[in-house]
Amino acid sequence: MAKQRVVIVGGGSGGDAAAFMLRKKGFDGEVVILSADHDRPYDRPYLSKEFLRGEIDLPKVYLHPEEEYARQGIDLRVNTRVSGGSIKERRLELESGAPVEYDVLLLSLGGTPRRLPGVPDAENVFTLRSLRDSSAIKQALHAAKRLLLVGAGFIGAEVGASARALGKEVLMVEAAPVPLSRAFGEEVGHVYADIHRDHGVDVRTGTTVKQWHTSGNHVTGVTLSDGGREDVDVVLLAVGIDPNLELPKALGLPIEGTGVPTDEALRVGDGVYVAGDIALHQHPLLGRALRVEHWEVAKGQGRGIANSIAAGNDVPYAKVPYFWSDQYEVKLEYNGHASGEDHAVWRGDRAGRQFSVFYLRDGLVQAVLSMNDAEGGDAGVRLIQSRTAVNAHKLADSEVDLAELVPAKS
């Protein structure tokens, strides 16, 4: 039988993980990665943290040494954007260069940071997604005194924490009255805003930028909706991403809301899979379709798809979604998938910032957010996996041993 060619579009978390897992599983066909990025795959989470602060440099940021791709028989083509093609004919069109044929296709395309209407296209206004973005922000921060962050989500917050570590003044402007409340509830949002305030960030919630002041091609200040005029010399827009759906649309793949709907094995159709930020995955354990924008999720999904391809049959991908965020001395971890409207059960020391919040729906734990509390996080994962109801009062009571409430590891 002729050897198969797997073509992976996207050289980020999901794409890179899939390529290496295919080899690990003994897949002996061709593996091609087509990536629009200028650089070979790198660890995106470092870009708002250690790399931005200058604590690690490039070799550590890349996921693998360059020669590793050839050694593993992975044909990595950077600066290569796929513009369309035909699923029926199993062929991709590139923005430049000859078409590429495939037997199996995997798309892990990530997202593009949103911009806001009215924001000047100035040299000191940035968004952060790529290694080059991070390098440019790092350079601009070096000479800056005061950073304006528009948006208090994770990217904004991490860059804010990094800028404080570099001794910069930080002004954080967030339109919502409480940051992150939609995802985690208001109480968590308040804790989180207080952490930044305690570290000297000027956090303005329920506030937007009303007017941008420029000099030449440079933003010099803003007028805020609270009437204040603020001088700033670097701006980061961190107001979320739009998943990259242009290619799936051009290929005629289904789109639902902001993602590409998949089955439990991340399959969209015959020989076509999607992973990462663009995937609306029918999660077998949680019983719902989820789209998650996190590193470990994309990586795990890429590996899960590689397992299916190497095995020659589709294996449902059931890992509980996970992400982390490091800001100052705070390690935040989140397992599962919930909304801020689910019933939040707190356990631990809120004032000391060592606690977990369990999110319950119909008595079942959907997610757990842990702040400096690995034990609570582990227990939460087992509760999520068990799909059995838990007693919320006992869960909230730190005197009750977690082992009593949590099913034993199987």
Ligand X SMILES: Cc1cc2nc3c(=O)[nH]c(=O)nc-3n(C[C@H](O)[C@H](O)[C@H](O)COP(=O)(O)OP(=O)(O)OC[C@H]3O[C@@H](n4cnc5c(N)ncnc54)[C@H](O)[C@@H]3O)c2cc1C
Q: 403: Cβ–Cβ under 8 A, 6 or more apart, which residues?
A: none
Q: Least distance from C-beta 320 to ligand X, angstroms?
A: 13
Q: Least distance from C-beta 269 to ligand X, angstroms?
A: 18
Torsion over CA of 53, 112, 102 and 99, rounded to 10 degrees? -110
Question: Is the Cβ of residue 155 or residue 360 nearer to ligand X in the bound state?
Answer: 155
Q: Which amino acid is at 115?
A: R
Instruction: Tell me the pairing of strands 209-215 and 279-283.
Output: unpaired
Question: Is the Cβ of residue 30 or residue 230 nearer to ligand X in the bound state?
Answer: 30
Q: Least distance from C-beta 392 to ligand X, angstroms?
A: 28
Vertex 84 angle, CA 82 and 90, to 5°: 100
SS3 of the chain: helix, strand, coil, percent, to 5 = 30, 30, 40
Question: Is the Cβ of residue 124 or residue 244 nearer to ligand X in the bound state?
Answer: 244
Strand, helix or coil for residue 329: coil
Question: Is the Cβ of residue 83 or residue 211 nearer to ligand X in the bound state?
Answer: 83
From the list 106, 127, 93, the residue with the least C-alpha distance to 242 is: 127
Question: Is the Cβ of residue 168 or residue 294 nearer to ligand X in the bound state?
Answer: 294
Tell the burial category of 174 from Cβ atoms under 10 Å away from its Cβ (0-12, 13-18, 19+): buried
Q: Least distance from C-beta 138 to ligand X, angstroms?
A: 12
Q: Least distance from C-beta 22 to ligand X, angstroms?
A: 15
Question: Is the Cβ of residue 44 or residue 168 nearer to ligand X in the bound state?
Answer: 44
Contact of 302 with 15, CB cutoff 8 Å: yes
- Give the relative orientation of helices 295-311 and 13-24 as an angle to the nearest 10 degrees: 30
- Residue with the closest Cβ to ligand X? 12
Tell the burial category of 41 from Cβ atoms under 10 Å away from its Cβ (0-12, 13-18, 19+): buried
Q: Least distance from C-beta 352 to ligand X, angstroms?
A: 23
d(CA 76, CA 308): 21
User: Encoding tokens for residue 125?
Assistant: 């206004």
Which residues form the interface with ligand X (CB under 6 A)? Answer: 9-15, 34-37, 44-45, 47-48, 81-82, 108-110, 128-129, 155, 244, 247, 276-277, 293-296, 298, 323-325
Q: Least distance from C-beta 214 to ligand X, angstroms?
A: 26
Question: Is the Cβ of residue 244 or residue 385 nearer to ligand X in the bound state?
Answer: 244
